[in-house]
Amino acid sequence: MVRLLPFSFLLLFASLFGLAWIVVEVDPDSTEWYIFALFIILLFLSLFNFLGLVLYFARTRFYRRYSANWYFKTSYKMAFFFAFFLAIVATLALFSQINTFNVTLAILAVSLFAFWSYLGKRG
């Protein structure tokens, strides 16, 4: 699993390049819907890879109790849920649907998904 770190790094910078291209070059008033979908996907990928790499290197640097593969899996799991929440909030912002109720529902949905992922599986 640790052998995937260079690909994660490359995917991080490819998605950051795509985000920069969308922000600088695309006119939001006259663009197609799939550019917004691409924006959300690239935002998710960049956050997921950045947070996964940062958490992995911070955890392996300061805590050396477990194997590197365990740190890889758990770091990217935590990064996935945070990036997933921010992608939902960004989608709500694009649809102009940001309010307390929708953000609360997004928090509840991601929290329940994380709870099921960590504790709800049968081994």
- Look at residue 3 in the predicted model and tell me its pLDDT: 87
Q: List average pLDDT for each run of 10 residues in the chain, which is 123 residues long.
A: 89 96 93 94 96 90 81 90 96 94 96 86 58
Alpha helices in 63-99 (DSSP H): 68-94
1 close to 69: Cβ distance less than 8 angstroms? yes
Whole-structure pTM value: 0.88
pLDDT recorded at residue 120 = 63
Q: What is the pLDDT of residue 82?
A: 96
> What's residue 26's pLDDT?
93
Dihedral over Cα of 26, 28, 32, 35: its sign: positive
* Torsion sign, CA atoms 38, 39, 43, 44: negative
